[in-house]
Structure 1
Amino acid sequence: MVDIATRVHDHNWKIDPIVRSLIDTDFYKLLMCQSVFRNRADAQVTFSLINRSKAIRLADLIDEGELREQLDHIRTLSLSRGESTWLRGNTFYGKRQMFSSDFMEWFENLRLPPYTLEKRDGQYELTFEGSWPEVMLWEIPALAVLMELRSRAVLHGMGKFELQVLYARAMTKLWEKIETLRGLPDLRIADFGTRRRHSFLWQDWCVQAMQEGLAEKFVGTSNCLIAMRRDIEAIGTNAHELPMIYSALADTDDELRQAPYRVLADWQAEHDGNLRIILPDTYGSQGFLDHAPDWLPGWTGIRIDSGDPAEGAEMAINWWRARGEDPREKLVIFSDGLDVDKITELHQRFAGRVKVSFGWGTLLTNDFRGLVADDALAPFSLVCKAVAANGRPTVKLSDNPNKAMGPADEIARYKRVFDIGRQQAIDLVV
């Protein structure tokens, strides 16, 4: 097993680059990229870094030169022969050849496009512009770089023994969580922690700990590189990016209203089984479900990613019942701000009522709370979102207004089109 403290102490970025591979990314990104490649490859999209935790002044913590070195390194990466073979030949979600030959040929020749980086008011403004299939693959590595550089800045100057003690405490903290989860019958849990991890080495350690500590209850990781190296399942379906951009490309209010369902119609044409997971909250879950087409309740399940998770699951159960479906045969995936207490609470509440699974993110791969002075390693809310498509701004409303984004006039329009009523704000954990 890697001695993380020694690697951190003896750090040389050419030996330990933050992003080691184009598949050091979340599996859902590659699934969505193939869908975009087939259906909307000509869309011109802008992604931008958004730090929701303004008190964390990243530009004051992270050296601009080091940030550029890491980003420039990512632009040199391409698929290795082994990575290409794994993507082409592995079985994902029970399906061989998940990725088509034309998509793989494109991906094998891909180099990520240029970026724009500026400093403003203690923050970095990092943007990516270009064709949608290319720029979307910047999101996860860009976040991983910023998160790990922040970790390295905090750890800089610590001695080897101090680092060993720090990581020993963090390992103990995680193992105690695993021991608690081990007691939950029929638990299904996956690592969703790539985008806001403490570091690549730490995420890899966390995955190994989950493998050993939870055995068959640990069902896989969202990280493709770790899934390949550790011979475990790559987990992921789709994200808010698809309806946000489809909606921005809509020409009329009626097309806008139908855009989230158009996304899923395109998805259904490609995928079946456990990849047919609904993410309903981009423009409010209740309205989305109320106006859903008749074919959608037959999908396998729903992912709850904002708002009160218990309320979201109850909403899904009621919707399935009203549409003649048996909730006990459906899957609910919880993935927002999870930690052990919330996982335990949700598991106990919904066991036997629906099939339950958990995508455990930041508080799996980046929980160093209370382990350094001033809590300087506490996780924070950093995202990289599509902010424009073909020159039009994107909008996200969510079930939690604290996660909403977009220009005020467009937010007002989307609230009108999607009939968004009063929403309850919930503090962001991560």
Structure 2
Amino acid sequence: MVDIATRVWNHKWKIDPIVRSLIDTDFYKLLMCQSVFRNKPDTRVTFSLINRSTEVPLARLIDEGELREQLDHIRSLSLSRGESTWLRGNTFYGKRQMFRPDFMEWFEDLRLPPYNLERNGDQYELTFEGAWPEVMLWEIPALAVLMELRSRAVLNDMGRFELQVLYARAMTRVWQKIESLREIEGLSIADFGTRRRHSFLWQDWCVQAMQEGLGSAFTGTSNCKIAMTRELEAIGTNAHELPMVYAALAEDDAALARAPYDVLSDWHEEHEGNLRIVLPDTYGTKGFLDRAPDWLAGWTGVRVDSGDPAEAARIAIDWWRARGEDPKAKRVIFSDGLDVDRIRALHAEFSGEVQVSFGWGTLLTNDFRDLVPGDALAPFSLVCKAVSANGRPTVKLSDNPNKAMGPQDEIERYKRVFGVGHQDALSVVV
């Protein structure tokens, strides 16, 4: 096992690439990329970095030259033979050859397209523009680079023993969480922590700790590179990006109202079983489910990613019952802002009513709260989102208005089209 503190001390953070593989990304990104490659390959999309935690001055903490070095290194990466073999031949979600030959041939030749980086005060403006299948693969590595460079900046002036103690305390914290989770009978939990991790090595350590500490209750990781290396299940389905771009392409209000279901219709043709998971909150969970076609109720489950998680789960349970489905045969995956207390509470409330799963992200792979002076390693909310498609702005409403994004006039239009009324604003931690 890598001695992370010693690695931090010895390297003193020269180039030391943060992202060393194109599959150091989330599994759902590759599934979505294949879908986009098949259905919308010529769509032009712009992704942009958005720091919701403006109190974290990324441009003052992170040297622009170092950031460019890391991003340039990512542009030099291509799939290795072993990575290609794993993607082509491994079984994912019980399916052999999840990735089609034409997609794999394209992916094996891919180099990520150029980026645009500018400094604006204490923040960076980082954007990626181009064909949707190419630029979408920048999202996860870009976030990983910014998060880890911030960690490196804070750790740079710490001494050898200080680093050893810091990581010992952080490891103890993770293990205490695992010990608490061990007490939950029937727990099903996966690592979803790639995008806002402390570092790659730390995510890998956390995954190994979960493997040892939770056994079969730990179902896998969203990180493809770690899944391959540690011989784990790669976990993930789809994300808000798909309906956001499909909606932006809609020619009128009627097409806009259909867009979220058009996404899932395309997905339905490609996937089955546990990959048929609905993410209903992009434009409001209740309205989305109320208007959903009956065939969608036959899908395996839903993922809850914003708003009050218990309320969203109740809405889904009521929807299944109203459509003649048995909630006990359905899965609810909670994935927003999770930590041990919330995991325990949600499992206690819904176990027995539905099949409960958890995708545990930032507070698994980046919980260094209160471990350094000034809480300078506390996790913060950094995202990289599609902001336009074919020149039209994208919009996300969410079940939490504090997570909404897009031009205000378009947000109001989307609220009208999707019948979104009052929403309770909740704090956004990550």
> Structure 2 length as normaliser, TM-score?
0.99
Cα separation, 1, equivalents of 2:207 and 2:294: 39
- Contact map agreement 2:402 2:428 (CA 8 A) in 1: yes
Please give the secondary structure, in 1, of the residue aligned with 2:11.
coil
1:350 match: 350
2:137 match: 137
2:117 match: 117
1:360 match: 360
- TM superposition shift of 1:11: 1.6
1:214 match: 214
- TM superposition shift of 1:159: 1.0
Deviation string, structure 1 residues 83-124 (Cα, Å, up to 9, x no partner): 000000000000000000000000000000000000102100
Deviation string, structure 1 residues 303-323 (Cα, Å, up to 9, x no partner): 000000000001100000000
- 4+ residue segments displaced more than 6 Å: none
Work out whether 1:21 is the aligned partner of 2:21: yes
Please give the secondary structure, in 1, of the residue aligned with 2:370.
coil
1:382 match: 382
Work out whether 1:69 is the aligned partner of 2:50: no
Work out whether 1:397 is the aligned partner of 2:378: no
Work out whether 1:246 is the aligned partner of 2:246: yes
- TM superposition shift of 1:14: 6.9
Please give the secondary structure, in 2, of the residue aligned with 1:299.
coil
Deviation string, structure 1 residues 121-161 (Cα, Å, up to 9, x no partner): 21000000000000000000000000000000000111111
2:54 match: 54
2:311 match: 311
- AA of the residue aligned to 1:321: R
Deviation string, structure 1 residues 267-322 (Cα, Å, up to 9, x no partner): 00000000000000000000000000010000000000000000000110000000
2:322 match: 322
- AA of the residue aligned to 1:268: H
1:163 match: 163
1:99 match: 99
- TM superposition shift of 1:13: 5.4
Amino-acid identity (%): 79
Give the 5 Å matches for 1:191-206.
191-206=191-206
Please give the secondary structure, in 1, of the residue aligned with 2:380.
coil
Deviation string, structure 1 residues 169-217 (Cα, Å, up to 9, x no partner): 0000000000000000010000000000000000000000000000000
Cα separation, 1, equivalents of 2:11 and 2:33: 33
Please give the secondary structure, in 2, of the residue aligned with 1:45.
strand
- AA of the residue aligned to 1:59: A
- AA of the residue aligned to 2:259: A
Cα separation, 2, equivalents of 1:83 and 1:279: 29
Work out whether 1:153 is the aligned partner of 2:153: yes
Cα separation, 2, equivalents of 1:351 and 1:279: 20
Cα separation, 2, equivalents of 1:365 and 1:232: 17
1:81 match: 81
Gaps spanning 5+ residues in structure 2: where? none
Please give the secondary structure, in 1, of the residue aligned with 2:235.
coil
Deviation string, structure 1 residues 53-92 (Cα, Å, up to 9, x no partner): 0100100100000000000000000000000000000000
Cα separation, 2, equivalents of 1:349 and 1:307: 17
- AA of the residue aligned to 1:354: V
1:34 match: 34
Deviation string, structure 1 residues 11-31 (Cα, Å, up to 9, x no partner): 265773100100000000000
- AA of the residue aligned to 1:51: N
- AA of the residue aligned to 2:267: W
2:423 match: 423
Cα separation, 1, equivalents of 2:132 and 2:234: 23
- AA of the residue aligned to 1:211: Q
> Structure 1 length as normaliser, TM-score?
0.99
Work out whether 1:274 is the aligned partner of 2:274: yes
Cα separation, 1, equivalents of 2:317 and 2:399: 17
RMSD over aligned CA atoms reads 0.7
Please give the secondary structure, in 1, of the residue aligned with 2:294.
coil
Cα separation, 1, equivalents of 2:62 and 2:361: 23
Quickly say closer, same or farther: Cα 1:271–1:236, change in 2 above 3 A: same
- AA of the residue aligned to 1:208: Q
Please give the secondary structure, in 1, of the residue aligned with 2:42.
coil
1:283 match: 283
Cα separation, 1, equivalents of 2:39 and 2:130: 16
Which range moves more in the overlay, 176-185 or 8-17? 8-17
- TM superposition shift of 1:429: 1.4
- Contact map agreement 2:13 2:156 (CA 8 A) in 1: no
Which range moves more in the overlay, 231-240 or 158-167? 158-167
Gaps spanning 5+ residues in structure 1: where? none
Cα separation, 2, equivalents of 1:258 and 1:153: 46
Please give the secondary structure, in 2, of the residue aligned with 1:378.
coil
Matched residue count? 430
- AA of the residue aligned to 2:394: T
Work out whether 1:43 is the aligned partner of 2:43: yes
Cα separation, 2, equivalents of 1:93 and 1:14: 39
Cα separation, 1, equivalents of 2:219 and 2:9: 33
Give the 5 Å matches for 1:226-265.
226-265=226-265
Cα separation, 2, equivalents of 1:320 and 1:128: 39
Deviation string, structure 1 residues 324-369 (Cα, Å, up to 9, x no partner): 0000000000000000000000000001000000000000000000
